[in-house]
Amino acid sequence: MARDINIKKLKKNAFRYSKHRGETGSRVRMPGGLISAKSLERIAEIADEYGDGTVFLTSRQGVEIHGIAMEDMDEVNLKLQQIIDDVQTNQEEKDKGYPASGTRNIVACPGSRICPFGCYDTGAFARKMEEMIFPNNLHMKIAFTGCSNDCAKVRMDDFGIIGMTEPQYDKDRCIGCEQCIKYCDKRSVGALSLVNGKIERDTNLCIGCGVCITYCPTRAWTRSKEHYFRVVLLGRTGKQNPRLAEDFIKWCDEESIMKMVKNCYAYVEEYIDPEAIEGKEHVGYIVDRTGFDEFYKWIMEGVELPEKAEVAKRIYWGGKRYDRSNNLK
């Protein structure tokens, strides 16, 4: 006989509510989309033994195992434990699966671990963020991308972190080949020019993408030892008012980003609509309600930005807005 299922508890345990009666799906968390081949094998084994034999790759770099009978959830959680240990996901209790689902899987491009354009190790930063924020049932989306190409599409998230570098120029190594100028013009913003046989960089125009560094044949251009980031805020999809995130801080540092995200959780806990369904309310809608000044006050509490940082203390979002008048003919 099938047992009664607490759907709210099921969802918080990272199982999906399915349209197929008596079935669910398990959401496997993998911060930054990185997981060992052995854990992938275990996911496949669970899918074959308890699911419908398929694995769904989500848009947030996780996987879902579909077709699981609801009465098998406890056994699936036991099987998931080795994967959870491998990924080193925080838990409240062993063998009980994932303790929360509100904060979504953190997205990251491959970053400097693989990509020649990556300005930092996106996976390492993603896992550091995961350690700080998970488990949490507040609805939050965070994404990391290694450079301004934004392969991770971070402008669709509540917090998007884009890698930057301050190009370091050694004029003695420069041969004036203009390769950096050519590729800055073609693949970036055209911030470089040749003056008296040497390169000049327009610091007001430069976005810190590192294209000049990647294409310099003599290593006259190198990355700064400091890691910098562009932080973009409150992008979202959804029905009411989808919009892209807007620039908040340029030349930010890692410590400040960690503090801002932690502060944002405190802000949401303070202002979330108490009648929000299952406690789920996008932070952007809360900011729309309280005003950006209040949001700014909360997230910047205790944050000491580097001197180089540039901050937008006022942000306006565009997006699609629907006229809700019933008088339109």
Tell me: do 28 and 70 sit in the same domain.
Answer: yes
In a domain, 93, yes or no: no
Tell whether the model's pLDDT for residue 8 goes beyond 90: no
Tell me: do 185 and 157 sit in the same domain.
Answer: no
Confidence (pLDDT) at 81: 95
Confidence (pLDDT) at 160: 97
In a domain, 213, yes or no: yes
In a domain, 102, yes or no: no
Question: Which amino acid does the sequence have at 33?
Answer: G
Tell me: do 257 and 112 sit in the same domain.
Answer: yes
For 248-260, how does the pLDDT look when each residue is reduced to its tens digit (9 = 90+)? 999 999 999 999 9
Tell me: do 147 and 187 sit in the same domain.
Answer: no
Given 188, 222, 256, the domain boundary residue is 222
In a domain, 317, yes or no: no
Confidence (pLDDT) at 24: 93
Measured between alpha carbons, how far is residue 131 from residues 23, 108, 248, 262 in Å? 31, 15, 24, 12
Residue 161's SS3 state is strand
Query: Which CATH number belongs to the domain containing residue 15 in this structure?
Result: 3.30.70.3340
For 34-92, how does the pLDDT look when each residue is reduced to its tens digit (9 = 90+)? 999 999 999 999 999 999 999 999 999 999 999 999 999 999 999 999 999 999 998 88
In a domain, 97, yes or no: no
How does residue 224 score in pLDDT terms, banded at 50, 70 and 90?
Answer: very high
Contacts of 324 (CB under 8 A, 6+ apart): none
How many domains in the chain? 3
Judge contact between 247 and 232, C-beta under 8 A: yes
Tell me: do 68 and 32 sit in the same domain.
Answer: yes
Calculate the average pLDDT of the chain: 91
Tokens of 249: 């801080």
Judge contact between 91 and 135, C-beta under 8 A: yes
In a domain, 101, yes or no: no
CA distance 91 to 123: 20
CA distance 217 to 289: 52
Confidence (pLDDT) at 18: 85
Given 87, 117, 146, the domain boundary residue is 87
User: Which runs of E-coded beta strand occur in 141-294?
Assistant: 142-145, 159-164, 168-169, 192-195, 198-201, 221-222, 228-233, 246-252
How does residue 329 score in pLDDT terms, banded at 50, 70 and 90?
Answer: very low
Confidence (pLDDT) at 3: 58
Percent of the chain with pLDDT over 90: 74
Judge contact between 64 and 26, C-beta under 8 A: yes
DSSP class of residue 73? Answer: H
How does residue 1 score in pLDDT terms, banded at 50, 70 and 90?
Answer: very low
* Residue 294 β-bridge partners: none
Confidence (pLDDT) at 323: 63
pTM above 0.75, yes or no: yes
Tell me: do 188 and 201 sit in the same domain.
Answer: yes
Higher pLDDT residue, 204 or 321? 204
| Spatial CA neighbour of 253 closest among 311, 213, 187, 197 | 311
Tell me: do 300 and 243 sit in the same domain.
Answer: yes
Query: Which CATH number belongs to the domain containing residue 160 in this structure?
Result: 3.30.413.10
For 266-293, how does the pLDDT look when each residue is reduced to its tens digit (9 = 90+)? 999 999 988 876 667 889 989 989 999 9
Tell me: do 152 and 174 sit in the same domain.
Answer: no
Tell me: do 274 and 137 sit in the same domain.
Answer: yes
Confidence (pLDDT) at 276: 75
CA distance 231 to 247: 6
In a domain, 113, yes or no: yes
Q: Which domain holds residue 181?
A: 168-222
Tell me: do 307 and 250 sit in the same domain.
Answer: yes
Give the mean model confidence (pLDDT) for residues 150-167: 95
Query: Which CATH number belongs to the domain containing residue 172 in this structure?
Result: 3.30.70.20
Tell me: do 245 and 156 sit in the same domain.
Answer: yes
Tell me: do 157 and 255 sit in the same domain.
Answer: yes
Tell whether the model's pLDDT for residue 22 goes beyond 50: yes
DSSP class of residue 155? Answer: G
Question: Which amino acid does the sequence have at 311?
Answer: V
Give the mean model confidence (pLDDT) for residues 161-174: 95
In a domain, 184, yes or no: yes
